Structure 1
Amino acid sequence: MKKRRHAAWAPLLGLALSLGSLAVSAVPAAADFRLCNRTQSRVGVAVGYKDNEIWITEGWWNVAANTCETLLRGDLVARFYYLYAVDYDQGGEWSGRAFMCTRDKEFTIRGIEDCLARGFDRTGFMEVDTKEQRGWTVQLTEKTQVDSVRPSAVSPIPGGAPMPTPNPAQRSKTP
């Protein structure tokens, strides 16, 4: 069940992202798209993906500090998923250059074109390459200073490939 809430914006923190696939075990694992919040803050999360020929964005999931949440259940339907997250407690965001539609309240939006004209916000999402795996887990981590963000700050999940630490210039400040 989705728990969603979008909070007011605050100053941007230095943030890092690492990705990995679900761990392989002797018991068949659920093939889901999951997010683990490895920060000390509550975060709000939105996801975007292409299902057949239709782009879909969904949000908001509330993910408590140091917990994991299944965002999408079942086998992944696409190689690339898109993620946007907001730090509710300390401010800041995880964002990127793939623009999709969102809104402040709970949403499922079909299509990514003309967001503003359709009454939605236009939000930059980060691309997540699942490498065509059946399931994937994203790890959100925080850094206290943008200057301290560097590739060595990325910690992959065993069995998963690390994603380069985002360039601080790719992060957008909130109004």
Structure 2
Amino acid sequence: MRLARTSLFSAGLLALTFWCITSEAARADFRLCNNTGSRVGIAIGYKEGEAWTTEGWWNLSSRSCETLLRGTLSSQFYYIYAIDYDRGGEWSGKAFMCTRDKEFTIRGVEDCLARGFEKTGFFEVDTTSQPSWTVQLTESSEQAPTRPLPPGSSSSPPRASGQPREVTQ
């Protein structure tokens, strides 16, 4: 009887361990890694059904990662805006969405100013419909220019307009 309980307990423990390992490996999330020497603030925009949602702020310390959305990604495109708290500058783009200074979840991207929010330019992240994705924010000096530079120009884009690199995980 005692041997049967021990075997049952061992089998249960083994099954639980296997489940934990496989569920961790199968996890699909949208993550962002701050590979800079600065603290950064992050906001994300995404389509949820037929409506747009923006959320912020995640405060990431230097050289750290954060999961912004948990679970399998449901869209191909996501939008990120990030602020460098320590040195100034931002990672931004031409997709305008609503934000505010304090923690927020905002539904809709229309009439931001009229609704009492700020209108902020986010950059687009194309996940190529992958189930998970990780965005890497890097220093502007680590990034290659996104287009050829005119003769006599600096070899790296200015910090405030530098585009982060995106990598899959």
TM-score, L = length of structure 1: 0.69
Q: Give 2:39's aligned amino acid.
A: R
Match of 2:112 in 1: 115
Alpha-carbon deviations, 1:5-29, whole Å to 9, x = none? Answer: xxxxxxxxxxxxxxxxxxxx9x624
Alpha-carbon deviations, 1:40-78, whole Å to 9, x = none? Answer: 000000000001101000000001100111011111121
Shift of 1:143: 2.2
Q: Give 1:43's aligned amino acid.
A: V
Aligned partner (choices 48, 51, 56) of residue 51 of structure 1: 48
Alpha-carbon deviations, 1:57-114, whole Å to 9, x = none? Answer: 0000001100111011111121100000000000000000000000000000000000
Q: Distance in 2 between matches of 1:115 and 1:90?
A: 27
Aligned partner (choices 120, 126, 147) of residue 123 of structure 2: 126
Q: Distance in 2 between matches of 1:155 and 1:100?
A: 21
Q: Distance in 2 between matches of 1:76 and 1:130?
A: 9
Shift of 1:30: 1.6
Residue 61 (str. 1) matches residue 82 (str. 2): no
Q: Distance in 2 between matches of 1:155 and 1:116?
A: 30
Report which of the two has the higher share of helix.
Answer: 2
Aligned partner (choices 36, 39, 42) of residue 36 of structure 2: 39
RMSD: 2.5
Partner SS state of residue 28, structure 1: helix
Change (3 A) 1:143 1:109: same
Residue 99 (str. 1) matches residue 96 (str. 2): yes
Aligned partner (choices 81, 84, 97) of residue 84 of structure 1: 81
TM-score, L = length of structure 2: 0.72
Partner SS state of residue 25, structure 2: coil
- Say which one has the larger Rg: 2
* Structure 2, gaps ≥5 residues long: 1-21, 146-153, 158-162
The percent identity for this pair of structures is: 64
Change (3 A) 1:53 1:102: same
Partner SS state of residue 83, structure 1: strand
Q: Distance in 2 between matches of 1:144 and 1:135?
A: 27
What is the total number of aligned residue pairs between the two structures?
A: 132
Shift of 1:116: 0.2
